[in-house]
């Protein structure tokens, strides 16, 4: 939520900041702004996307080698020019960008108003920059110290970067609950919400921890201290990301590129972990904890959105293979209940971004009760990855389209590996069967590649449904989470209302909606409940619903009943979710494109939800 970028060095800041904003636009895109210091502290901001900001600035003055920039996902105050970041302090000597929420902004604002401060915007951010200015003047301290003192009065979440006319060679930044990375160049520094704006210039980065303040000054080494004023030693890491991962590479949208990357991203998730020939599964990140996992009384999976759907597939996998009781929880619900958690529980937190505020809070709660926390994250060095005891990265590479695709299949892949490993350790699966499953899992990237050949057919099919207003997705067993994920994908990017349901539950409500206008997508690949799904299809047909069925190649019975068929290669039932998801991703993509929607940046959504 909200992308922040800062630059100080010897190069012109404007092109670096602008490019950085484009790279972070997935985090929010309702307004954007930039401030550059060059004697004057100039600022441009506008409602709309980064491209609107760029056209608005056009050929106005942007000279300067130090600056900050922001792309916003509104929390306080509607998205308009005034509420866009950066925000000036009263004197206009300071400016700040912010990602997060200052919870006690109302009381701070009241105090500042009493002291004569005037406010232009409705934002909590403006309150904080005024407070920093007030401290700077009254306590007669420099910017870094003023930021430190101010943050001691703040309740909430933030990643901020502040620029000051009085100290024109320095940026001061801080974080709590929202991500912040510093890139260290030869004679310059880059600050950003994630590494995407930095990777082009340097691979040396420092991930800032919660409640740390960082000062980057031209010609001086990076300086980090806690808000309690304790100096910290910067831990410089090498970025593994490369630039091509951040570009569309000839595809019309990032989402399509990411859908097509899945044969490789799944291979990357499996790489070095699965060896079917030797019959081994090894997840290096959790080896020290796998015994604890195998002995756990219960596994609790916490996640949000698409990651929660992956968690549901995980539930079936752990129960089926490792015979372990599993609960899958929406992190936002879990954190505010009074859940029963013990030291014998293992909590698995799943998150693409590794920054989702609710998932992070659920982890903290489970930690406080003594549970072991395992992470499944995509973004290396992210807050969730660092908050867990151990974990496995999905290695899907940067996912930029807001609707998650390759991250989902990578999460399911990791969950499959974990379930298999635990099954092996707990002796809940015969060796022969274990090996069969490993061999089949190894063939999944190739089968995903085959599945993707369906793209042209899905595109044709999408034409029939461009004007649909509702969609129902049905599946049973392993395919029930797939149905929910298919429905979520469609509503996220095409704004068509869609619901995912367990097929048999349809008769307890959704059946009332079915008429000739209602497309029903049925995932009918299951072996176990195949006949039952056929009965569900007949119930829909009897009410004139139009059936799109995802079936296993060579299927006959469903083919006779369905209006449209999408075939996926034959595989083990427990691996079907990875394959069956793909036609559904493509269907939502093509429908959304045909409806003229912005698939990579759907309205009101953001990729990384760092607010509750």
List residues with catalytic annotation: 2, 607
CB contact at 8 A, 258 and 401: yes
User: Of 33-41, 180-188, 233-241, 349-357, which part binds ligand G6P (CB under 6 A)?
Assistant: 349-357
CB contact at 8 A, 71 and 23: no
Q: What's the burial of 435, exposed, middle or buried (CB within 10 Å: 0-12/13-18/19+)?
A: middle
CA-nearest of 580, 503, 565, 498 to 539 is 503
Q: What's the burial of 63, exposed, middle or buried (CB within 10 Å: 0-12/13-18/19+)?
A: exposed
Contacts of 346 (CB under 8 A, 6+ apart): 292, 293, 296, 298, 299, 300, 371, 372, 373, 374
In the complex, minimum distance from the CB of residue 55 to ligand G6P, in angstroms, rounded to a whole number: 27
Query: Backbone phi, then psi, for 441, in 5-degree steps?
Result: -60, -40
Q: How are beta strands 497-502 and 40-47 bridged, if at all?
A: unpaired
**Residue 6 or 401 with smaller CB distance to ligand G6P:** 401
In the complex, minimum distance from the CB of residue 235 to ligand G6P, in angstroms, rounded to a whole number: 24
In the complex, minimum distance from the CB of residue 547 to ligand G6P, in angstroms, rounded to a whole number: 28
Under the binding rule (CB under 6 A), the answer on residue 545 touching ligand G6P is no
- SS3 per-residue string spanning 191-214: EECCCCCCCCCCCEEEECCCCEEE
**Residue 311 or 519 with smaller CB distance to ligand G6P:** 311
Q: How many residues bind ligand G6P (CB under 6 A)?
A: 16
From the list 62, 202, 265, 351, which residue makes contact with ligand G6P (rule: CB under 6 A)?
Answer: 351
Contacts of 576 (CB under 8 A, 6+ apart): 478, 479, 482, 523, 525, 526, 568
**Residue 145 or 194 with smaller CB distance to ligand G6P:** 194
**Residue 349 or 537 with smaller CB distance to ligand G6P:** 349
From the list 356, 409, 424, 601, which residue makes contact with ligand G6P (rule: CB under 6 A)?
Answer: 356
In the complex, minimum distance from the CB of residue 601 to ligand G6P, in angstroms, rounded to a whole number: 11
**Residue 588 or 608 with smaller CB distance to ligand G6P:** 608
Under the binding rule (CB under 6 A), the answer on residue 305 touching ligand G6P is yes
From the list 306, 383, 405, 571, which residue makes contact with ligand G6P (rule: CB under 6 A)?
Answer: 306
Binding string, residues 366-405; x marks residues near ligand G6P by CB under 6 A? ------------------------------------xxx-
In the complex, minimum distance from the CB of residue 309 to ligand G6P, in angstroms, rounded to a whole number: 8
Distance CA 378, CA 269 (A): 10
Under the binding rule (CB under 6 A), the answer on residue 202 touching ligand G6P is no
Distance CA 162, CA 143 (A): 8
From the list 304, 373, 423, 534, which residue makes contact with ligand G6P (rule: CB under 6 A)?
Answer: 304
**Residue 5 or 376 with smaller CB distance to ligand G6P:** 376
User: Of 276-284, 303-311, 368-376, 592-600, which part binds ligand G6P (CB under 6 A)?
Assistant: 303-311
Give the Å distances, CA to CA, from 66 to 53, 55, 219, 315.
18, 21, 13, 50
**Residue 464 or 605 with smaller CB distance to ligand G6P:** 605
From the list 353, 383, 416, 536, which residue makes contact with ligand G6P (rule: CB under 6 A)?
Answer: 353
CB contact at 8 A, 211 and 225: no
**Residue 311 or 583 with smaller CB distance to ligand G6P:** 311
- Per-residue tokens: 565: 């068929």
In the complex, minimum distance from the CB of residue 408 to ligand G6P, in angstroms, rounded to a whole number: 8
Give the Å distances, CA to CA, from 564 to 92, 204, 223, 546, 552.
62, 51, 61, 8, 13
Distance CA 103, CA 570 (A): 52
**Residue 6 or 577 with smaller CB distance to ligand G6P:** 577
- Per-residue tokens: 32: 């954007």
Under the binding rule (CB under 6 A), the answer on residue 359 touching ligand G6P is yes
Give the Å distances, CA to CA, from 472 to 267, 521, 522, 524, 527.
32, 6, 8, 14, 22
- Per-residue tokens: 16: 């670096």
> Helix H segments across 252-347?
254-260, 262-270, 290-295, 305-317, 331-334
190 beta partners: 7, 183
Under the binding rule (CB under 6 A), the answer on residue 307 touching ligand G6P is yes
Contacts of 39 (CB under 8 A, 6+ apart): none
**Residue 175 or 476 with smaller CB distance to ligand G6P:** 175
Binding string, residues 400-439; x marks residues near ligand G6P by CB under 6 A? --xxx-----------------------------------
User: Of 150-158, 317-325, 543-551, 603-611, which part binds ligand G6P (CB under 6 A)?
Assistant: 603-611
From the list 385, 415, 609, 611, which residue makes contact with ligand G6P (rule: CB under 6 A)?
Answer: 609
From the list 202, 212, 607, 610, which residue makes contact with ligand G6P (rule: CB under 6 A)?
Answer: 607
CB contact at 8 A, 345 and 320: no
In the complex, minimum distance from the CB of residue 7 to ligand G6P, in angstroms, rounded to a whole number: 26
CB contact at 8 A, 212 and 225: yes
In the complex, minimum distance from the CB of residue 52 to ligand G6P, in angstroms, rounded to a whole number: 22
In the complex, minimum distance from the CB of residue 189 to ligand G6P, in angstroms, rounded to a whole number: 27
Residue nearest to ligand G6P (CB): 305
In the complex, minimum distance from the CB of residue 166 to ligand G6P, in angstroms, rounded to a whole number: 39
From the list 121, 265, 352, 585, which residue makes contact with ligand G6P (rule: CB under 6 A)?
Answer: 352
How far from each other are the two terminal CA atoms of the chain, in whole angstroms?
A: 11
For binding to ligand G6P (CB under 6 A), which residues are involved?
304-307, 351-353, 356, 359, 402-404, 605, 607-609
């Amino acid at each position: 939520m909200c992308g922040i970028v800062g630059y100080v060095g010897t190069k012109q800041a404007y092109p670096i900041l602008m490019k950085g904003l484009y790279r972070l636009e997935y985090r929010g895109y309702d307004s954007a702004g930039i401030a550059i210091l060059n004697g004057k502290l100039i600022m441009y901001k506008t409602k709309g996307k980064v491209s609107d900001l760029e056209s608005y600035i056009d050929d106005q003055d942007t000279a300067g080698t130090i600056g900050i920039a922001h792309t916003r996902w509104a929390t306080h105050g509607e998205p308009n020019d005034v509420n866009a970041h950066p925000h000036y302090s009263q004197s206009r000597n300071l400016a700040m960008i912010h990602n997060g929420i200052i919870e006690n902004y109302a009381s701070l604002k009241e105090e500042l108003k009493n002291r004569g401060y005037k406010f232009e915007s409705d934002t909590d951010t403006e309150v904080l920059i005024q407070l920093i200015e007030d401290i700077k003047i009254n306590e007669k301290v420099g910017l870094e110290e003023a930021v430190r003192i101010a943050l001691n009065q703040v309740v909430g979440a933030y990643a901020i970067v502040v620029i000051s006319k009085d100290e024109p060679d320095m940026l001061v930044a801080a974080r709590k609950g929202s991500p912040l990375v510093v890139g260290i160049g030869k004679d310059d520094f880059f600050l950003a919400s994630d590494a995407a704006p930095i990777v082009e210039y340097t691979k040396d980065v420092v991930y800032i921890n919660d409640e740390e303040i960082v000062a980057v000054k031209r010609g001086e080494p990076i300086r980090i201290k806690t808000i309690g004023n304790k100096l910290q030693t910067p831990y410089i890491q090498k970025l593994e990301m490369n630039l091509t991962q951040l570009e569309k590479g000839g595809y019309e949208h990032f989402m399509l590129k990411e859908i097509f990357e899945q044969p490789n991203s799944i291979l990357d998730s499996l790489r070095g972990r699965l060896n079917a020939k030797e019959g081994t599964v090894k997840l290096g990140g959790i080896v020290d904890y796998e015994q604890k996992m195998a002995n756990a009384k219960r596994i609790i999976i916490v996640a949000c959105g698409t990651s929660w759907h992956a968690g549901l597939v995980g539930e079936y996998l752990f129960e089926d293979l490792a015979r372990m009781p599993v609960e899958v929880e929406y992190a936002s619900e879990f954190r505010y209940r009074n859940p029963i958690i013990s030291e014998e529980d293992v909590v698995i937190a799943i998150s693409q971004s590794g920054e989702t505020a609710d998932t992070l809070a659920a982890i903290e709660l489970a930690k406080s009760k003594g549970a072991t926390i395992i992470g499944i994250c995509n973004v290396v060095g992210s807050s969730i990855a660092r908050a867990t005891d151990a974990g496995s990265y999905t290695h899907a590479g940067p996912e930029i389209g807001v609707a998650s695709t390759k991250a989902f299949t990578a999460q399911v892949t990791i969950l499959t590996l974990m379930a298999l490993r635990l099954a092996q350790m707990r002796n809940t699966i015969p060796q022969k069967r274990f090996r069969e499953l490993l061999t089949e899992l190894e063939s999944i990237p190739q089968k995903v590649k085959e599945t993707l050949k369906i793209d042209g057919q899905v595109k044709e099919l999408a034409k029939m449904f461009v004007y649909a207003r509702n969609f129902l997705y049905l599946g049973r067993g392993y395919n029930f989470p797939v149905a929910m994920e298919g429905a979520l994908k469609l509503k996220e990017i095409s704004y068509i209302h869609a619901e995912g349901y367990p097929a048999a539950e349809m008769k307890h409500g959704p059946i009332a909606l079915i008429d000739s206008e209602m497309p029903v997508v049925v995932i009918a690949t299951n072996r176990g409940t195949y006949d039952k799904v056929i009965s569900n299809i007949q119930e829909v047909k009897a009410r004139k619903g139009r059936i799109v069925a995802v079936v296993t190649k060579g299927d006959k019975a469903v083919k006779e009943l369905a209006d449209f068929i999408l075939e996926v290669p034959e595989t083990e039932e427990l691996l079907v979710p990875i394959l069956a998801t793909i036609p559904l991703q493509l269907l939502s993509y093509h429908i959304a494109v045909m409806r003229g929607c912005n698939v990579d940046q759907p309205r009101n959504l953001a990729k990384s939800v760092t607010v509750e």
